[in-house]
Amino acid sequence: MESDQLPQVLLPGKPAVTTLLGEEIFMSDKFDFLKAYESALPLHQFLTTHAHKIQAIWSIPATPITADILRLLPHLKLVVTVTAGLDFVDLDECRRRGVAVANAGTVYSEDVADVAVGLLIDVLRNISAANRYVKQRLWPLKGEFPLASTMGGKRVGIVGLGSIGIEVAKRLEAIGCYISYNSRKKKSNVPYTFYSDVCELASNNDALVICCALTDQTHHMINKQVLLALGKKGVVVNVARGAIIDEKELVECLMRGQIGGAGLDVFENEPEVPKELFDLDNVVLSPHRAIFTPESVKNVCELAIKNLEAFFSDKPLLSPFIDDSY
Protein backbone atom coordinates (compact mmCIF):
# COMPACT_ATOMS: atom_id res chain seq x y z
CA MET A 1 0.00 0.00 0.00
CA GLU A 2 1.29 3.47 -0.83
CA SER A 3 2.37 5.61 2.13
CA ASP A 4 -0.34 8.20 1.48
CA GLN A 5 -2.97 5.43 1.60
CA LEU A 6 -1.85 4.01 4.96
CA PRO A 7 -3.57 4.95 8.25
CA GLN A 8 -1.90 8.03 9.72
CA VAL A 9 -0.40 8.01 13.24
CA LEU A 10 0.76 11.31 14.68
CA LEU A 11 4.03 11.61 16.59
CA PRO A 12 3.65 15.08 18.15
CA GLY A 13 7.07 14.96 19.80
CA LYS A 14 10.16 12.78 19.55
CA PRO A 15 9.65 9.74 21.80
CA ALA A 16 12.45 9.09 24.29
CA VAL A 17 12.47 5.43 23.27
CA THR A 18 14.25 6.36 20.03
CA THR A 19 17.42 6.90 22.10
CA LEU A 20 17.51 3.19 22.87
CA LEU A 21 15.70 1.63 19.92
CA GLY A 22 16.36 4.13 17.14
CA GLU A 23 13.88 5.45 14.58
CA GLU A 24 13.43 1.99 13.06
CA ILE A 25 10.55 1.27 15.41
CA PHE A 26 8.52 3.89 13.53
CA MET A 27 9.00 2.23 10.16
CA SER A 28 5.92 0.23 9.29
CA ASP A 29 4.15 -1.07 6.21
CA LYS A 30 0.81 -1.00 8.07
CA PHE A 31 0.58 2.69 9.00
CA ASP A 32 2.44 5.90 8.34
CA PHE A 33 3.95 7.92 11.19
CA LEU A 34 3.62 11.69 10.82
CA LYS A 35 6.56 13.20 12.72
CA ALA A 36 5.44 16.66 13.75
CA TYR A 37 8.76 17.26 15.51
CA GLU A 38 10.58 17.13 12.17
CA SER A 39 8.39 19.89 10.71
CA ALA A 40 9.25 23.58 10.81
CA LEU A 41 5.55 24.31 11.39
CA PRO A 42 4.28 25.04 14.91
CA LEU A 43 2.39 22.03 16.26
CA HIS A 44 -1.08 23.56 15.98
CA GLN A 45 -0.43 24.55 12.38
CA PHE A 46 0.95 21.11 11.59
CA LEU A 47 -2.17 19.50 13.09
CA THR A 48 -4.47 21.80 11.14
CA THR A 49 -2.65 20.89 7.92
CA HIS A 50 -2.91 17.13 8.51
CA ALA A 51 -6.11 16.97 10.59
CA HIS A 52 -8.16 15.27 7.87
CA LYS A 53 -5.98 12.14 7.88
CA ILE A 54 -4.76 11.68 11.48
CA GLN A 55 -6.58 8.75 13.06
CA ALA A 56 -4.23 7.90 15.95
CA ILE A 57 -1.63 9.57 18.17
CA TRP A 58 1.46 8.06 19.77
CA SER A 59 1.50 10.45 22.71
CA ILE A 60 4.33 11.45 25.02
CA PRO A 61 4.26 13.41 28.32
CA ALA A 62 6.24 16.31 26.86
CA THR A 63 3.36 17.06 24.47
CA PRO A 64 0.11 16.79 26.46
CA ILE A 65 -3.03 15.69 24.66
CA THR A 66 -5.33 18.52 25.68
CA ALA A 67 -8.89 19.34 24.74
CA ASP A 68 -7.49 21.96 22.33
CA ILE A 69 -5.37 19.34 20.57
CA LEU A 70 -8.30 16.94 20.37
CA ARG A 71 -10.56 19.61 18.87
CA LEU A 72 -8.08 20.05 16.02
CA LEU A 73 -8.31 16.35 15.11
CA PRO A 74 -11.92 15.49 14.18
CA HIS A 75 -11.00 12.06 12.75
CA LEU A 76 -8.90 10.93 15.74
CA LYS A 77 -10.02 7.59 17.15
CA LEU A 78 -7.08 6.35 19.25
CA VAL A 79 -4.44 7.66 21.65
CA VAL A 80 -1.59 5.24 22.31
CA THR A 81 1.09 5.86 24.90
CA VAL A 82 4.02 3.89 26.31
CA THR A 83 3.47 5.27 29.81
CA ALA A 84 1.42 3.77 32.62
CA GLY A 85 0.21 7.13 33.93
CA LEU A 86 -2.04 9.27 31.76
CA ASP A 87 -2.06 12.59 33.59
CA PHE A 88 -0.93 14.29 30.35
CA VAL A 89 -3.99 13.06 28.42
CA ASP A 90 -7.39 14.72 28.81
CA LEU A 91 -9.26 11.49 29.46
CA ASP A 92 -12.62 13.18 29.95
CA GLU A 93 -12.40 14.83 26.53
CA CYS A 94 -11.30 11.53 24.98
CA ARG A 95 -14.36 9.81 26.45
CA ARG A 96 -16.62 12.61 25.24
CA ARG A 97 -15.27 12.31 21.71
CA GLY A 98 -15.23 8.51 21.66
CA VAL A 99 -11.45 8.37 21.40
CA ALA A 100 -10.02 5.09 22.68
CA VAL A 101 -6.92 5.16 24.89
CA ALA A 102 -4.27 2.45 25.24
CA ASN A 103 -1.39 2.69 27.69
CA ALA A 104 1.48 0.50 28.91
CA GLY A 105 -0.87 -1.81 30.76
CA THR A 106 1.12 -4.04 33.13
CA VAL A 107 4.41 -3.96 31.20
CA TYR A 108 6.15 -1.80 33.81
CA SER A 109 4.49 -3.19 36.92
CA GLU A 110 7.24 -5.57 38.04
CA ASP A 111 10.10 -3.17 37.30
CA VAL A 112 8.41 -0.32 39.17
CA ALA A 113 7.63 -2.61 42.10
CA ASP A 114 11.28 -3.67 42.23
CA VAL A 115 12.37 -0.03 42.50
CA ALA A 116 9.71 0.76 45.12
CA VAL A 117 10.90 -2.08 47.34
CA GLY A 118 14.51 -1.19 46.61
CA LEU A 119 13.96 2.40 47.72
CA LEU A 120 12.24 1.25 50.90
CA ILE A 121 15.05 -1.17 51.74
CA ASP A 122 17.64 1.51 50.95
CA VAL A 123 16.03 4.06 53.27
CA LEU A 124 15.42 1.63 56.14
CA ARG A 125 18.83 -0.07 55.92
CA ASN A 126 20.74 3.15 55.06
CA ILE A 127 22.43 1.50 52.07
CA SER A 128 23.13 4.67 50.05
CA ALA A 129 24.24 6.53 53.18
CA ALA A 130 26.54 3.65 54.13
CA ASN A 131 27.97 3.63 50.61
CA ARG A 132 28.84 7.33 50.91
CA TYR A 133 30.31 6.71 54.38
CA VAL A 134 32.74 4.15 53.02
CA LYS A 135 33.62 6.01 49.80
CA GLN A 136 34.28 9.24 51.70
CA ARG A 137 36.70 7.23 53.89
CA LEU A 138 34.81 8.08 57.05
CA TRP A 139 34.82 4.54 58.46
CA PRO A 140 38.43 4.62 59.78
CA LEU A 141 37.96 8.22 60.94
CA LYS A 142 34.57 8.07 62.65
CA GLY A 143 34.24 4.40 63.45
CA GLU A 144 31.15 2.24 63.15
CA PHE A 145 28.27 3.36 60.96
CA PRO A 146 24.95 3.91 62.80
CA LEU A 147 22.54 0.99 63.06
CA ALA A 148 19.72 0.71 60.52
CA SER A 149 16.20 -0.72 60.77
CA THR A 150 14.97 -4.26 60.17
CA MET A 151 12.68 -4.81 57.16
CA GLY A 152 10.89 -7.94 58.36
CA GLY A 153 7.82 -7.23 60.41
CA LYS A 154 7.34 -3.70 59.11
CA ARG A 155 3.78 -2.55 58.45
CA VAL A 156 3.54 -1.09 54.95
CA GLY A 157 0.55 0.79 53.57
CA ILE A 158 0.17 0.87 49.80
CA VAL A 159 -1.69 3.79 48.26
CA GLY A 160 -3.21 2.49 45.03
CA LEU A 161 -3.52 -1.28 44.75
CA GLY A 162 -3.47 -1.57 40.96
CA SER A 163 -1.07 -3.75 39.00
CA ILE A 164 2.00 -2.00 40.45
CA GLY A 165 0.65 -1.93 44.00
CA ILE A 166 -0.11 -5.66 43.86
CA GLU A 167 3.45 -6.43 42.76
CA VAL A 168 4.82 -4.27 45.59
CA ALA A 169 2.64 -6.14 48.08
CA LYS A 170 3.84 -9.54 46.81
CA ARG A 171 7.49 -8.56 47.19
CA LEU A 172 7.06 -7.05 50.64
CA GLU A 173 5.09 -10.04 51.88
CA ALA A 174 8.01 -12.26 50.86
CA ILE A 175 10.28 -10.14 53.07
CA GLY A 176 7.90 -10.55 56.00
CA CYS A 177 6.08 -7.21 55.94
CA TYR A 178 2.42 -6.75 56.86
CA ILE A 179 0.40 -5.13 54.09
CA SER A 180 -2.61 -2.82 54.12
CA TYR A 181 -3.87 -0.42 51.49
CA ASN A 182 -5.95 2.60 50.56
CA SER A 183 -8.00 2.81 47.39
CA ARG A 184 -11.22 4.34 46.12
CA LYS A 185 -12.99 1.16 47.10
CA LYS A 186 -12.22 -2.11 48.82
CA LYS A 187 -10.94 -4.87 46.54
CA SER A 188 -12.63 -8.22 47.10
CA ASN A 189 -9.80 -10.33 45.67
CA VAL A 190 -7.02 -9.41 48.13
CA PRO A 191 -6.45 -10.43 51.78
CA TYR A 192 -5.00 -7.10 52.91
CA THR A 193 -6.58 -4.70 55.40
CA PHE A 194 -8.36 -1.84 53.67
CA TYR A 195 -8.42 1.76 54.91
CA SER A 196 -10.79 4.14 53.18
CA ASP A 197 -8.95 7.10 54.70
CA VAL A 198 -5.30 7.60 53.71
CA CYS A 199 -4.55 9.41 56.98
CA GLU A 200 -5.76 6.37 58.92
CA LEU A 201 -3.62 4.18 56.68
CA ALA A 202 -0.58 6.30 57.55
CA SER A 203 -1.22 6.20 61.29
CA ASN A 204 -1.38 2.39 61.23
CA ASN A 205 1.82 1.78 59.25
CA ASP A 206 5.58 2.19 59.41
CA ALA A 207 5.83 3.11 55.73
CA LEU A 208 3.69 4.29 52.82
CA VAL A 209 4.35 3.30 49.21
CA ILE A 210 2.61 5.52 46.66
CA CYS A 211 1.52 3.63 43.53
CA CYS A 212 -1.67 5.38 42.41
CA ALA A 213 -2.36 7.51 39.35
CA LEU A 214 -2.20 11.30 39.50
CA THR A 215 -5.70 12.74 39.17
CA ASP A 216 -7.53 15.78 40.50
CA GLN A 217 -8.53 13.60 43.47
CA THR A 218 -5.00 12.36 44.28
CA HIS A 219 -3.14 15.65 43.72
CA HIS A 220 -1.39 16.48 47.03
CA MET A 221 -3.28 13.63 48.69
CA ILE A 222 -0.18 12.94 50.78
CA ASN A 223 -0.28 16.22 52.67
CA LYS A 224 1.10 17.42 56.00
CA GLN A 225 -1.67 15.72 57.96
CA VAL A 226 -0.89 12.35 56.36
CA LEU A 227 2.86 12.77 56.86
CA LEU A 228 2.44 13.66 60.52
CA ALA A 229 0.17 10.64 60.95
CA LEU A 230 2.96 8.49 59.52
CA GLY A 231 5.16 9.73 62.33
CA LYS A 232 8.79 10.38 63.20
CA LYS A 233 9.96 6.89 62.26
CA GLY A 234 7.75 6.57 59.20
CA VAL A 235 9.05 6.34 55.64
CA VAL A 236 7.31 7.39 52.43
CA VAL A 237 8.21 5.94 49.03
CA ASN A 238 6.86 7.43 45.79
CA VAL A 239 7.10 5.65 42.43
CA ALA A 240 3.88 7.14 41.01
CA ARG A 241 3.80 10.89 40.26
CA GLY A 242 5.52 13.64 42.20
CA ALA A 243 2.46 15.83 42.68
CA ILE A 244 0.61 13.14 44.65
CA ILE A 245 2.76 14.29 47.58
CA ASP A 246 2.73 17.92 48.68
CA GLU A 247 6.46 18.28 48.07
CA LYS A 248 6.87 21.48 50.07
CA GLU A 249 5.30 19.86 53.14
CA LEU A 250 7.39 16.72 52.63
CA VAL A 251 10.59 18.75 52.64
CA GLU A 252 9.48 20.58 55.80
CA CYS A 253 8.63 17.34 57.59
CA LEU A 254 11.97 15.80 56.65
CA MET A 255 13.96 18.87 57.68
CA ARG A 256 12.18 18.99 61.04
CA GLY A 257 12.53 15.27 61.70
CA GLN A 258 8.76 14.80 61.67
CA ILE A 259 9.04 11.70 59.46
CA GLY A 260 11.81 9.13 59.32
CA GLY A 261 12.80 9.20 55.66
CA ALA A 262 11.79 9.10 52.01
CA GLY A 263 12.58 7.20 48.83
CA LEU A 264 11.59 9.22 45.78
CA ASP A 265 11.70 8.31 42.10
CA VAL A 266 9.36 11.15 41.09
CA PHE A 267 9.10 14.85 41.86
CA GLU A 268 6.58 17.63 41.52
CA ASN A 269 8.54 19.82 39.07
CA GLU A 270 10.84 17.43 37.23
CA PRO A 271 13.69 17.61 36.54
CA GLU A 272 13.95 20.13 39.38
CA VAL A 273 14.41 18.56 42.83
CA PRO A 274 14.32 20.48 46.14
CA LYS A 275 17.94 21.15 47.06
CA GLU A 276 17.13 20.65 50.73
CA LEU A 277 16.93 16.90 50.06
CA PHE A 278 20.46 16.51 48.73
CA ASP A 279 22.27 16.38 52.07
CA LEU A 280 19.78 14.22 53.95
CA ASP A 281 21.08 10.69 54.58
CA ASN A 282 17.54 9.45 55.24
CA VAL A 283 16.41 10.41 51.73
CA VAL A 284 17.16 8.34 48.62
CA LEU A 285 16.55 9.94 45.22
CA SER A 286 16.16 8.52 41.71
CA PRO A 287 15.60 10.49 38.46
CA HIS A 288 12.21 9.02 37.46
CA ARG A 289 13.69 5.79 36.17
CA ALA A 290 11.60 3.10 37.87
CA ILE A 291 9.94 2.06 34.63
CA PHE A 292 13.01 2.06 32.43
CA THR A 293 15.00 -1.05 31.60
CA PRO A 294 16.08 -2.11 28.11
CA GLU A 295 13.64 -5.01 28.37
CA SER A 296 10.67 -2.90 29.45
CA VAL A 297 11.26 -0.24 26.79
CA LYS A 298 11.41 -2.87 24.05
CA ASN A 299 8.33 -4.66 25.38
CA VAL A 300 6.22 -1.53 25.76
CA CYS A 301 7.05 -0.30 22.26
CA GLU A 302 6.10 -3.67 20.84
CA LEU A 303 2.84 -3.44 22.80
CA ALA A 304 2.11 0.04 21.41
CA ILE A 305 2.68 -1.17 17.85
CA LYS A 306 0.41 -4.16 18.46
CA ASN A 307 -2.27 -1.84 19.83
CA LEU A 308 -2.09 0.21 16.64
CA GLU A 309 -2.21 -2.91 14.48
CA ALA A 310 -5.20 -4.23 16.43
CA PHE A 311 -7.03 -0.92 16.17
CA PHE A 312 -6.55 -0.56 12.41
CA SER A 313 -7.60 -4.20 11.97
CA ASP A 314 -10.83 -3.64 13.95
CA LYS A 315 -9.62 -5.95 16.72
CA PRO A 316 -9.73 -5.31 20.50
CA LEU A 317 -6.89 -3.27 21.96
CA LEU A 318 -4.33 -5.31 23.89
CA SER A 319 -4.01 -2.80 26.74
CA PRO A 320 -6.99 -0.43 26.84
CA PHE A 321 -6.73 2.06 29.67
CA ILE A 322 -8.42 0.74 32.82
CA ASP A 323 -8.53 3.10 35.76
CA ASP A 324 -7.79 0.60 38.54
CA SER A 325 -4.64 2.08 40.10
CA TYR A 326 -6.52 3.81 42.92
Contact 154, 178 (CB under 8 A): yes
User: pLDDT tens digit string along 160-182?
Assistant: 999 999 999 999 999 999 999 99
Higher-confidence residue of 324 and 277: namely: 277
pLDDT at 21 over 90: no
* pTM listed for this prediction: 0.93
Q: Is 322 helix (H, G, I), strand (E, B) or coil?
A: coil
Contact 221, 159 (CB under 8 A): yes
**Residue 33: strand pairing partners:** 9
Higher-confidence residue of 37 and 19: namely: 37
- Distance (Å, whole) CA 58 – CA 193: 39
Higher-confidence residue of 124 and 24: namely: 124
pLDDT-based confidence at residue 4 (cuts at 50, 70, 90): low
98: phi > 0 → left, psi -120 to 50 → alpha, else beta; which? left
Spatial CA neighbour of 89 closest among 98, 74, 79: 79
Spatial CA neighbour of 83 closest among 220, 222, 208, 241: 241
Contact 89, 66 (CB under 8 A): no
Q: What is the pLDDT of residue 302?
A: 95
23 is catalytic: no
Active-site position among 173, 184, 288, 302: 288
Q: What is the pLDDT of residue 18?
A: 86
pLDDT at 5 over 90: no
- Distance (Å, whole) CA 308 – CA 326: 27
- Distance (Å, whole) CA 36 – CA 45: 10
The DSSP element (H or E) to which 9 belongs, if any, is strand 8-11
User: pLDDT tens digit string along 307-326?
Assistant: 999 999 999 999 999 876 56
Percent of the chain with pLDDT over 90: 91
125 is catalytic: no
Higher-confidence residue of 239 and 19: namely: 239
Active-site position among 270, 276, 289, 295: 270
Please, what is the average pLDDT of the chain? 95
Active-site position among 241, 247, 249, 268: 241
Q: What is the pLDDT of residue 23?
A: 86
Q: What is the pLDDT of residue 204?
A: 98
Spatial CA neighbour of 9 closest among 61, 58, 59: 58
270 is catalytic: yes
User: pLDDT tens digit string along 65-98?
Assistant: 999 999 999 999 999 999 999 999 999 999 999 9
Contact 62, 47 (CB under 8 A): no
